[in-house]
Amino acid sequence: MAQSTGYSKIRTAVFISGTGSNFKSLIKFSKTYKSPISIKLVVSNNSKAKGLDYAKINKIKKKILNFKNKSQSEKKLLSILKFNKIEIICLAGFMKILSKGFIKKFNGKILNIHPSLLPKYKGLNTHERVLKNKEKYSGCTVHFVNSRLDSGKIILQKKVKISKNDTKASLAKKILIQEHKLYPKAILKVSNL
């Protein structure tokens, strides 16, 4: 992955679609001394994403691309990323699937966070499926993005114990707290490779 030097931090873009709590935690991390990244851009397919408020508060440039025409949006996005000299992309609750061509252009430089212990429970509605299967543990995973959904090389995982009373919402909340810690740790891990 791109290396940060003593002088310059890795120019990072975060892609979001909704609440943006991981985006918020990455901003906080990026402002710490030990952070190898500096967030230069946030991209959303949803102009109403609540997470965009954090861009405003923190004066981070934002770009909205609706992805209705994926190839057109991606083409535009690639030029925006190039213009802003973006070196890595952190997907954080981004609900669009990037094309193989796009991923190839950023090969090994796109990270994602997923709310399950991959390779189990790829895709959507993870907590619901985990509870239905009466799993004892779930968790979250940060991984590199490849062309298959939630299937790239795993960087770090955190296990979370499921209690008898857990609901979809309570489990999501417990896991999200761990996600906020895991994503920065995963970034530190790959930036030192």
Max Cα–Cα distance, the chain, nearest Å: 50
Among 10, 13, 15, 20, binds ligand GRF (CB under 6 A): 20
Among 35, 54, 74, 93, binds ligand GRF (CB under 6 A): 93
Q: Which is nearer to ligand GRF, 18 or 108 (CB)?
A: 18
> Closest Cα to residue 129, out of 174, 179, 92, 172?
172
Determine if 21 is a binding residue for ligand GRF (CB under 6 A). Answer: yes
| Subset of 27-86 contacting ligand GRF (CB under 6 A) | 51
Q: How many residues bind ligand GRF (CB under 6 A)?
A: 14
Whether residue 20 contacts residue 92, with contact meaning beta carbons closer than 8 Å, is answered with yes
For residue 143, indicate whether it is catalytic.
Answer: no
Name the residues that contact ligand GRF, by CB under 6 A. Answer: 16, 18-22, 51, 92-93, 113-115, 176, 179
Q: Which residues are designated catalytic?
A: 114
